[in-house]
């Protein structure tokens, strides 16, 4: 049965991905729902709500039946105006859910009404709750770039500056200290707090002293990056937009030092590097980067990557799988005869007959767990 899950939890949807990108930017995030979707975001899909730290202004539109049926956008805008008087946000962001998708909400009209009423810039993300977090996060990043990066260069970038398609193995160090490297796709849905610290250390180790995480509105209004590093698939739409309109090249991957310890622990437990059949299940950029690091560390067995999320040709090899359903995942594992599986611990429950070695590589978007489980 399509969509039936006996073991795996529901993954973070596109509404949560959009909210994760917008969380630290100082705007007012309005979830256009009756309350349920906003509750899921804050209660389950946003780890920063579960930790001590900076809070974000996330509101539910509080739609009622007749509000949705009649499309009473004026009531929503009035709520936004009153809230702006209390919290003074830097911008307004509307995030869609199944309700506005069904009734055909005009997001452009909402944006114009909000800007006219509040005097603040506004964006909208037309997520519908039926896709996964990387789709919504990608739309949110792209909307931020289109709205706030307002000094485009004329024409296309010179050929030598156009984005190289990296294999996911390393971030090239700068040729001069001027400028910084931008990280597109860095959200808690893909990277734990410990992993973020390791990533910063790894970038410093390869020569980048200034790292832009796109977690401040000024990162969009005053872009300073010499290049962007796409660390998860949700960063690709914004990277391609910046390359085409602003001449900022990008690379897809992760710096090698970031994955050295993980690769060493995986290799240490392998009985025979020539005979092992490894499967890495994560978001495709991290999975591919880990595969390359394992090979450089001496792993000579077969290594396959699989993901339930967006898969890009630039980071794939023949045999990599785009997964959709739980039973498809089980069949892929059985057919591949893998001896080692690397992925979120929640995936282990879906493989009751797997007799090989399972290595934990947490992915919050899958399990919603904050555990920094070691490999």
- Domain ranges for the chain: 14-146, 159-252, 262-367
Collapsed DSSP state (helix, strand, coil) of residue 286: helix
Please tell me if the domain spanning 14-146 has the same topology as the one spanning 159-252: yes
Sign of CA dihedral 107, 110, 114, 116: positive
Q: What is the pTM of this model?
A: 0.88
Q: Which residue has the tokens 């880990």?
A: 290
Residue among 346, 304, 296, 307 nearest 133 (CA) = 307
CATH of domain 14-146: 3.40.50.1980
Tell me how crowded residue 309 is: count the other CB atoms within 10 A of its CB: 26
φ, ψ for residue 252, nearest 5 deg: -105, 125
Q: Give the span between the Cα atoms of 332 and 27, in whole angstroms.
A: 42
Q: Give the span between the Cα atoms of 19 and 59, in whole angstroms.
A: 11
Collapsed DSSP state (helix, strand, coil) of residue 294: helix
- The burial of 27, by beta-carbon neighbours within 10 Å (0-12 exposed, 13-18 middle, 19 or more buried), is given as buried
Q: What is the pLDDT along the chain (375 residues), one digit of tens a residue?
A: 677 889 999 999 999 999 999 999 999 999 988 777 766 777 677 778 766 666 788 888 877 766 666 667 888 899 999 999 999 999 999 999 988 888 888 899 999 999 999 999 999 999 998 999 999 999 999 999 999 997 444 444 333 333 333 344 444 444 434 568 999 999 999 998 889 999 999 999 888 889 999 999 999 988 888 999 999 999 999 999 999 999 999 999 999 899 988 888 888 766 555 678 999 999 999 999 999 999 988 888 899 999 999 998 889 999 999 999 999 999 999 999 999 999 999 999 999 999 999 999 999 999 988 764 433
Residue among 155, 148, 154, 220 nearest 182 (CA) = 220
Q: State both tokens at 268.
A: 């240490």
Check if CATH label 3.40.50.1000 holds for domain 262-367: no
Check if CATH label 3.40.50.1980 holds for domain 159-252: yes
H helical segments located in the chain: 14-22, 36-40, 65-70, 73-87, 98-103, 107-118, 133-148, 193-205, 218-221, 236-246, 256-269, 284-296, 326-336, 345-348, 364-367
Residue 84 CB partners (closer than 8 Å, separation 6+):
28, 92, 118, 120
Dihedral-angle region of residue 256 (phi above 0 means left; psi in -120 to 50 means alpha; beta otherwise): alpha
């Amino acid at each position: 049965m399509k969509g039936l899950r006996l073991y795996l939890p529901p993954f973070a949807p596109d509404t949560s991905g959009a909210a994760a990108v917008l969380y630290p930017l100082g705007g007012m995030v309005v979830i256009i729902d009756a309350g349920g979707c906003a509750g899921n975001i804050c209660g389950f899909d946003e780890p920063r709500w579960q930790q001590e730290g900076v809070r974000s202004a996330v509101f539910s539109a509080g739609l009622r039946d007749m509000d949705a049926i009649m499309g009473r956008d004026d009531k929503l805008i009035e709520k936004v105006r009153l809230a702006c008087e209390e919290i003074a946000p830097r911008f307004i962001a509307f995030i869609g859910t199944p309700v506005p998708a069904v009734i055909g909400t005009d997001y452009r009209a909402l944006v114009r009404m909000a800007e006219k009423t509040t005097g603040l810039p506004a964006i909208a993300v037309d997520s519908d709750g039926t896709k996964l977090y990387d789709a919504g996060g990608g739309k949110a990043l792209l909307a931020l770039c289109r709205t706030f990066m307002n000094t485009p260069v004329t024409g296309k970038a010179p050929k030598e500056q156009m984005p190289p398609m990296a294999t996911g193995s390393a971030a090239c160090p700068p040729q001069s200290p001027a400028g910084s490297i931008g990280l597109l796709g860095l959200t808690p849905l893909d990277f734990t707090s410990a992993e973020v610290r390791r990533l910063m250390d790894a970038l410093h180790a390869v020569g980048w002293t200034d790292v832009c995480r796109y977690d401040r509105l000024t990162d969009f209004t005053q872009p300073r990056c010499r290049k962007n590093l796409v660390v998860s698939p949700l960063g690709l739409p914004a990277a391609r937009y910046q390359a085409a309109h602003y001449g900022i090249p990008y690379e897809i991957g992760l710096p090698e030092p970031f994955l050295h310890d993980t690769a060493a622990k995986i290799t240490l437990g392998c009985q025979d590097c020539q005979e092992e059949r490894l499967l890495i299940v994560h978001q495709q950029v991290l999975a591919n980067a880990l595969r390359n690091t394992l090979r450089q560390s001496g792993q000579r067995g077969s290594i396959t990557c699989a993901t339930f999320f967006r898969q890009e040709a630039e980071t794939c090899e023949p045999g990599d799988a785009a997964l959709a359903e739980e039973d498809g995942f089980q069949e892929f594992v059985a057919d591949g005869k893998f001896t080692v599986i690397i992925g979120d611990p929640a995936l282990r429950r879906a493989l009751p007959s797997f007799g090989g070695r399972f290595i934990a590589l947490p992915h919050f978007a899958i399990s919603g767990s904050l555990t920094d489980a070691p490999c």
